Amino acid sequence: MADYRPAKVEKHKIKKESQEVILQLVRTPDIVSAVTASEHRPYTVGFAAETNDVIAYAKDKMQRKGLDMIVVNDVSDQSIGFNSDDNAVTVLWRNREQILERASKSSIARQIVNLIAQQIQRAD
């Protein structure tokens, strides 16, 4: 889910003859915050793609949204993430962080699932 969406959706293709197209965006609902604010909230993991101050922004987002864990990746590194089959992330939770070094996205996903499972087991 994106943070913003177009305010107006055209029913048909916008032709090139149009001189100028102005795209107005509106914020989308913050689903994660709604989940963490619910009475019977589940263990909640958020994700962040950052370009600078990666860890600081991730910690702030985790605190603001009431997340149990956050997975953040540095999207300014063009050799991984959006432009690659590989990724590298940092996972943060209650006063801890763990770097998951560059690996295939499926490997990173398995490592994240294992970390989540470990934290849920400890909470039980």
pLDDT in tens, 8-56: 998 988 888 767 888 999 999 999 999 999 999 999 999 999 999 999 9
Which tokens go with 80? 């991984």
| List of residues 6+ apart from 3 with CB closer than 8 A | 27, 28
Q: Is the dihedral of CA 108, 110, 116, 121 positive or negative?
A: negative
Q: 102-124 pLDDT, tens per residue?
A: 999 999 999 999 999 999 988 76
Whole-angstrom distance between the N-terminal and C-terminal Cα of the chain?
30
Residue among 113, 114, 49 nearest 81 (CA) = 49
The CATH number covering residue 55 comes to 3.40.50.10300
Give pLDDT, residue 116.
96
**For the chain, what is the domain count?**
1
Domain span including residue 9: 4-123
Q: 45-87 pLDDT, tens per residue?
A: 999 999 999 999 999 999 999 999 999 999 998 888 787 899 9
